[in-house]
Homo-oligomer: A and B are copies of this chain.
Amino acid sequence: MPSANASRRSQEKPREIMDAAEDYAKERYGVSSMIQSQEKPDRVLVRISDLTVQKAGEVVWVRARVHTSRAKGKQCFLVLRQQQFNVQALVAVGDHASKQMVKFAANINKESIVDVEGVVRKVNQKIGSCTQQDVELHVQKIYVISSAEPRLPLQLDDAVRPEVEGEEEGRATVNQDTRLDNRVIDLRTSTSQAIFRLQSGICHLFRETLTNKGFVEIQTPKIISAASEGGANVFTVSYFKNNAYLAQSPQLYKQMCICADFEKVFCIGPVFRAEDSNTHRHLTEFVGLDIEMAFNYHYHEVVEEIADTLVQIFKGLQKRFQTEIQTVNKQFPCEPFKFLEPTLRLEYCEALAMLREAGIEMGDEEDLSTPNEKLLGRLVKEKKQSNSYDMFMRGEEILSGAQRIHDPQLVTERALHHGIDLEKIKAYIDSFRFGAPPHAGGGIGLERVTMLFLGLHNVRQTSMFPRDPKRLTP
């Protein structure tokens, strides 16, 4: 546990120790020895978000990162940060702090983790640069728990600066590769913290909604024996003395669960695509949120369940993650995400009629003027009158689903038509031989949905550790 004695034992002896003889505050600061669970001090650490005027006058302990420090004569101002919250702290020469202690505080490297004891003081003028605007901490003790190296590969303040400010005011921003190469630091920014908290919320809302609808969560294997979806874009794995493959989607297994009477299933898990696409929306590994459901007479029963699930997710995010949405918007301004409840649903013929009404005959996509018209045009052209459906957010497709074939004869015919080796999907085809209910489903990519909901422009911003043809680290 941190103490001045502990600092004596430390390998890194601060220069200040030289002056120890004349330092009346020498017990009140230092570099703590590494925490190795040797002691259980009876000390309560307070959250920075709880530092409000209600606590004014109280002496509290806080563990936080040194976000910034600025020495000014006999005092040093620190901004202490804990996730998305921060507070100003003042070390000033006086009863509690010596000039050596102020110097020590001023020399702590940014991003180091410190334990600070201080008195909460109400301030007269709001501190605009901190989340805790009405109080500051008057430091009485400060110990370094984990020291950061002096040179950071990127500055957190640069990493949250809106692009436009960077361009117009010539201030530094951080490019994507630098961010991703130093992801652990980039993830500490308020923007990243907000993105991934919201993403965690998407998974939570997806499961909450489906569990309430009576769906069962399943786990599907990722290593499969055959490149079952045609063989293109599939990663090969050395499996003992043979080859195996990474699943490009859980679809076949979801369907097998339907044939196994689970009726309504969902799963969340990694999906692998060996596609050499280097675009803003492609990853080689992403997280799939997948649904499959038996229906009674019409696949629209499934479309309605999926659409309602998306609506419940959007509503939940807007209700529970307003702070996070606003935090991301500060750096990446965008139109708020809009949706209808129930969702707007266009049938093939309605879309066609809308296009005609807009004076558009079914020509080339180039003839269509707005992106939405192009979208509709593409849809109308591509889609035959099939039992399939696409879903969109901000005009981009997020889900493509269909009624599946549940007849073993017809599955066999289609597989042959697509040149798939029947022997390789025997287990799949066999699932339909012993009674199979009609069913349909679909899947969405977690990273894409997060990106589109927040109006971001690159799926790498919404993957903690993105994988693409050129990036496999960190």
Contacts and interface: CB of A to CB of B under 8 A. Distances in A.
A131 B203 CA distance: 35
A52 B296 CA distance: 22
A254 to B, nearest CB: 11
A146 B409 CA distance: 12
A435 interface: yes
A246 interface: yes
Interface stretch (A234-242, A330-338, A350-358): A234-242
Contacts of A403: 36-37
A211 interface: yes
Interface in A376-410: 387, 403, 406-407, 410
A83 B263 contact: yes
A34 interface: yes
Nearest to A296: B45
A188 B436 CA distance: 12
Contacts of A184: 256, 259-260, 430-431, 434
Nearest to A2: B297
Given A188-B260, A435-B112, A43 B472 contact: no
Interface stretch (A16-24, A213-221, A362-370): A213-221
Contact of A235 (B185, B238, B257, B430): B238
Contacts of A145: 437-438
Contact of A204 (B43, B196, B207, B276): B207
Contact of A464 (B35, B220, B246, B473): B220
Contacts of A260: 183-185, 187-188, 192
B220 A297 contact: no
A270 interface: yes
Contacts of A428: 474
Interface stretch (A162-170, A222-230, A412-420): A222-230
A291 to B, nearest CB: 14
A235 to B, nearest CB: 5
A200 interface: yes
A285 interface: yes
A184 B426 CA distance: 12
Contact of A187 (B200, B236, B261): B261
B257 A187 contact: yes
Interface string A141-174: 0000111110010000000000000000000000
A236 B260 CA distance: 32
A469 interface: yes
Interface string A243-274: 01010000001001101111100001110101
A65 interface: yes
B40 A152 contact: no
A225 B468 CA distance: 12
A339 to B, nearest CB: 24
A317 interface: no
Among A199, A261, A472, residue most surrounded by chain B Cβ atoms (within 10 Å): A261
B253 A246 contact: no
A193 interface: yes
Interface string A444-473: 001000000000000000011101010011
A37 B297 contact: yes
Contacts of A232: none
Contacts of A263: 83
Contact of A113 (B34, B284, B435): B435
A296 B469 CA distance: 40
Interface of A: 1, 34-37, 39-41, 43, 45, 63, 65, 82-83, 111-113, 145-149, 152, 182-185, 187-188, 192-193, 196-197, 199-200, 203-204, 207, 211, 216-225, 235-240, 242, 244, 246, 253, 256-257, 259-263, 268-270, 272, 274, 276, 284-285, 287, 296-300, 387, 403, 406-407, 410, 427-428, 430-431, 433-438, 446, 463-465, 467, 469, 472-474
